[in-house]
Structure 1
């Protein structure tokens, strides 16, 4: 035997009811012995509560709403049974007349009791079950309309009555013995022993089905709803959530208690006691296997089964030095709350017994505070116990799974995932069964926390959302490399680099479903025109898609000023733009502190040596206890090329510069390279990474060109002036060559000072063998003293810089 239960959305429209009919007929062919429990049509129960409240307030509007409700049911009958509607319509009309009389009495008395509300709410299920049974009969499927008040006996707790097992079981068995065949049963409603209508509370139709299944020893209880089953998380908050194939009864109860709406907690108990499986199925996707809740679920590839949350809770803290070691404190607190019918969602207590945290519904927070403070009035006056503190706007999140038991590292993985997303944990609770780890977080962090935990426990590949600003030479090359290497990175690093934002000076686009990097140009041109620096930040306010990285491949000061906002919004940064790190020291320090305190990464390796691991090496030296004694560096590809080429003596210095410009090795105005400022910024950053509190003006730059060149009005005028100085450069070259030495423009950091100057070096110096536009850097440290550490290679260029950015994204991810 099987019990099938269909929720309100499953019977919300005539077409939905036809679909229910098809499912019932198919089930009968597979197993003739079935019973069906149905809810009221979607929204009807809420309408009935609303009209009763309006009637109590003597608001005549209730009559119009009631008429609309009657019309809806009548139209459903006409659509479903066009040739046999009349007798059914008469019965529907009769039911609404009865309901109208009851509401009129409430209108006259201006009194609405819980007993009256139960009676009125029950009409929705009666109408639904009656219409569906008549529809099935019209389809030549014999069906018996069954009012559950003939089967279920409860106590008189109106609004949430409790089923009396023995009395109800006898009635059910007796009824089934006398009435074989398909029964369409009203969910949610029952009656007291005195025949007074009651309801089983919201989700009561599920409980009706579960209780019938337990009494009748059904083979399976099927809960048909509008989702495929129990999801690993709320898909509205976690887009990557998936349907769980199996759950244990305990897991299902934990998930339902913490907000999973597919199953209501009381539903599970009767089925669990009798060991009857519960299957969650989708009325609108009946071929999907759904979720099976049973005693021994199948093996699950992840240690956790699901994550769920209660969106809005309040946290009460009872603490005080007088609580330490005193027995009965907890018992008194919980007893007084029970006496006030206040349910505690979550409990966290310090081992010192100095404090107890209780999570309750927000509307219960103030009554709970007053009740506890009254109970501990004497202790509060004696200052043994503090007044109860209330924290509002919080959410409770639960990670559930039986396989979490005795699995090491579960809690560590949970808290690491939250820390990575800068989510602060307010309170923690874990039972000794290890079935559930619960955390309380700020309501504003709920979605981000859910996504972080889901990714940590259920994602085979970690997703990194990318926001890319700047599509010039480096940006376009990065996008090419991303398109080419995405699948390889996914396979080798289990990292999904998911491009969701793209902008340049002309266009900006933000797409949560992703931007294929191979098609970026076409897609970007469909975006918003002339985006301002805050374009991505505005979109991020509504985006909760997981860990996000802002990539700045511009040279814009305005863009660099947004870094602080990105970090404060939980977004990591990878920057080729060096302006933020080489501006005012306080700004540099603010970004360092923010990223560290927020648990985010702020990476800028390409600020110094493009794809060369300069900063990474320096940080490794410092973090492992080494001390930097001296840094020597050539950190300009342009200046490196100039002197590597000039040393041959085949061309004058001005000719070498012009050749470099023609080859694209310099800026359009070469003076922007030759003034040494870009070089100085890189040296400045190295000094700051070594702990120096310095600004750009603290670095001494020996001008490479005469002052007249920088004062020239045009580039051509610069070359005219520079030709007059060619003999001086040639003289310096020959003087160095005579002593078997070479000219190099070198930056040096030593004893807290930084300077950049034209220097003669020996032919055996590490910089002597540089070729083309290579950069090089020498670290002399306590550890690398006799034989300094040298890093050499291309220090500029779109390909190596883009590769450096890619490396920053995938390292440690």
Structure 2
């Protein structure tokens, strides 16, 4: 492949930009120049050597590419790769020409399609399990895709905050450690929005919490032009008015909001549903196992073969393995699954008011609802093993699973125990996997199935990072 390679361009004080070459023998390369503002720019182009590094410090790439450069020989196809800013971006030009060109700039793509060189400022709220995994992935992202520059300007937990008034970047490698030593307390959410609004570039809030207070601030941030990326279910399963306010603010300001990881961790559940809806397919039913905790519990308690363990033992084991919340009742009450169904039902076109507006079966014995702690709950749970054994026995040759389902036609949404044949995909799940089946007019009786790990810090953070990349691509 023929390459046109631009080398280093620097502006020193008020002097004109000067090209410095990576190869010592430059006499054979043609030069041309064009006035750019009050300065003249010279360029050296090599169409033969596959070097491809240039840094343009303090110089706009679209201005530099305005130079007319005549190639040494006509070519059937030229591929321009320029790498700019100190972070070295690759940018291919794919256009082909059969006729001899008069100037090289005929080969340069429309400059309006070039990505912005302005940095993007990122504010991270939440530095717990998912937050730490996200920061690690963000660090790797800045190495793999150094353009545009991603500037971590703010990071906070519920008690501490780390940020600089001049928006200077916080080191991603040591951000969590520095945050732990910070004496700053988090500003109010309106103050955070005001801070990000004044940033010298586009800003994105990455909310890795499950805070309702943070979720309530999304419309304010979006109205101010600040995009939002989050796995926080409460923003999209809370009051229907909040849902409307969030997306109305996004539509009005042009700021983006992505929440793939609010359902299924890193699984492409929301994006799949959106694609089905936006391409005109008709969703008839959504059904699946939406909780990694519930998946693990019932795959162990009611396996497709064998008797399984005692219910209380399996719940205790799930907590020890980190599958449950510190208080397992937060999983067993079914509300987590109900929140996810609320989100999917709304995306499918049903104006579900809240996760408590449809039937949700709780697996918490009424006698244990008032336990003062999760430990007390686990201590008393064995007394209720017989009730769960009776439920399992009543399934006969089928198996029990804790599922959520949305019947779009009848507008019926529910969460609870159902029985399935051992050969059914829902029954055959392993470990803590999730499975979500989309039944649509196009797919007929063969559901479109999304299946895989639906819990864990790394996979959840992966969904957040993937959403961040999408937002960057749209706003940069």
Give me the TM-score of the superposition, normalised by structure 1.
0.44
Instruction: Tell me which of 461, 477, 498 is aligned to 2:133.
Output: 477
In the other structure, the counterpart of 1:759 is: 418
In the other structure, the counterpart of 1:98 is: none
Whole-angstrom CA distance in 2 between matches of 1:298 and 1:721: 78
In the other structure, the counterpart of 1:785 is: 444
In the other structure, the counterpart of 1:227 is: 14
In the other structure, the counterpart of 1:674 is: 332
- Does residue 686 in structure 1 map to residue 344 in structure 2? yes
Question: What SS is found at the alignment partner of 2:136?
Answer: helix
Instruction: Tell whether the 8 Å contact from 1:468 to 1:551 is kept in structure 2 after alignment.
Output: yes
In the other structure, the counterpart of 2:121 is: 465
In the other structure, the counterpart of 1:660 is: 318
The structure whose residues are more often helix, as a share, is 1
In the other structure, the counterpart of 1:552 is: 207
User: Per-residue displacement from partner, 1:222-267 (whole Å, max 9, x unpaired)?
Assistant: xxx9634599xxxxxxxxxxxxx9643xx53xxxxxxxxxx6xxxx
Whole-angstrom CA distance in 2 between matches of 1:569 and 1:659: 46
Whole-angstrom CA distance in 2 between matches of 1:548 and 1:303: 22
> Shift of the alpha carbon at 1:732?
2.1
Whole-angstrom CA distance in 1 between matches of 2:320 and 2:250: 41
In the other structure, the counterpart of 2:455 is: 796
In the other structure, the counterpart of 1:712 is: 371
In the other structure, the counterpart of 1:600 is: 255
Question: What SS is found at the alignment partner of 1:766?
Answer: coil
Whole-angstrom CA distance in 1 between matches of 2:252 and 2:17: 37
Whole-angstrom CA distance in 2 between matches of 1:759 and 1:467: 42
Change (3 A) 1:646 1:782: same
In the other structure, the counterpart of 1:503 is: 156
Whole-angstrom CA distance in 1 between matches of 2:251 and 2:129: 31
Question: What SS is found at the alignment partner of 1:711?
Answer: coil
In the other structure, the counterpart of 1:341 is: none
Instruction: Tell whether the 8 Å contact from 2:197 to 2:225 is kept in structure 1 after alignment.
Output: no
Question: What SS is found at the alignment partner of 2:450?
Answer: strand
- Does residue 523 in structure 1 map to residue 178 in structure 2? yes
Whole-angstrom CA distance in 2 between matches of 1:670 and 1:458: 47
Change (3 A) 1:745 1:462: farther
Instruction: Tell me which of 724, 728, 732 is aligned to 2:387.
Output: 728
> Shift of the alpha carbon at 1:532?
3.1
Where does 1:303-314 land on structure 2 (aligned, <5 Å)? 304-305=62-63
Whole-angstrom CA distance in 2 between matches of 1:749 and 1:462: 44
User: Per-residue displacement from partner, 1:461-507 (whole Å, max 9, x unpaired)?
Assistant: 674321111110111111122223421233xxx54433222111232
Change (3 A) 1:457 1:726: closer
Number of aligned residues: 385
> Shift of the alpha carbon at 1:557?
1.6
Instruction: Tell whether the 8 Å contact from 1:661 to 1:667 is kept in structure 2 after alignment.
Output: yes
Instruction: Tell whether the 8 Å contact from 2:334 to 2:416 is kept in structure 1 after alignment.
Output: no
Where does 1:570-609 land on structure 2 (aligned, <5 Å)? 570-609=225-264
Whole-angstrom CA distance in 1 between matches of 2:114 and 2:324: 49
Change (3 A) 1:230 1:770: same
Where does 1:426-505 land on structure 2 (aligned, <5 Å)? 457=114, 459=116, 463-490=119-146, 494-505=147-158
In the other structure, the counterpart of 1:363 is: none
| Deviating more after overlay: 717-726 vs 593-602 | 717-726
In the other structure, the counterpart of 2:434 is: 775
Whole-angstrom CA distance in 2 between matches of 1:808 and 1:716: 37
Bigger relative CO (Cα 8 Å, ≥ 6 apart): 2
Whole-angstrom CA distance in 2 between matches of 1:653 and 1:629: 34
Where does 1:244-263 land on structure 2 (aligned, <5 Å)? 247-248=34-35, 252=37
Instruction: Tell me which of 747, 758, 782 is aligned to 2:404.
Output: 747
> Shift of the alpha carbon at 1:590?
1.1
Whole-angstrom CA distance in 2 between matches of 1:525 and 1:727: 47
Question: What SS is found at the alignment partner of 1:747?
Answer: strand
Change (3 A) 1:802 1:625: same
Instruction: Tell whether the 8 Å contact from 2:223 to 2:252 is kept in structure 1 after alignment.
Output: no
Where does 1:339-488 land on structure 2 (aligned, <5 Å)? 457=114, 459=116, 463-488=119-144
> Shift of the alpha carbon at 1:708?
1.6
Whole-angstrom CA distance in 1 between matches of 2:220 and 2:359: 33
> Shift of the alpha carbon at 1:540?
2.0
Give me the TM-score of the superposition, normalised by structure 2.
0.74
> Shift of the alpha carbon at 1:299?
8.4
> Shift of the alpha carbon at 1:798?
0.4
Instruction: Tell me which of 279, 293, 302 is aligned to 1:647.
Output: 302
Higher Cα radius of gyration: 1
Where does 1:17-36 land on structure 2 (aligned, <5 Å)? none
Over the aligned positions, Cα root-mean-square deviation in angstroms equals: 2.9
> Shift of the alpha carbon at 1:723?
2.4
Change (3 A) 1:538 1:228: farther
Change (3 A) 1:771 1:457: closer
User: Per-residue displacement from partner, 1:253-296 (whole Å, max 9, x unpaired)?
Assistant: xxxxxxxxxx6xxxxxxxxxxxxxxxxxxxxxxxxxxx328xxx
Whole-angstrom CA distance in 1 between matches of 2:180 and 2:381: 44
- Does residue 614 in structure 1 map to residue 269 in structure 2? yes
Q: List alignment gaps of at least 5 residues for structure 1.
A: 1-224, 232-244, 253-262, 264-290, 307-399, 404-453
> Shift of the alpha carbon at 1:724?
2.8
Instruction: Tell whether the 8 Å contact from 2:34 to 2:67 is kept in structure 1 after alignment.
Output: no
Instruction: Tell whether the 8 Å contact from 2:33 to 2:67 is kept in structure 1 after alignment.
Output: no
Q: List alignment gaps of at least 5 residues for structure 2.
A: 1-11, 19-31, 46-55, 69-110
Whole-angstrom CA distance in 2 between matches of 1:298 and 1:723: 78
Instruction: Tell whether the 8 Å contact from 1:483 to 1:516 is kept in structure 2 after alignment.
Output: no
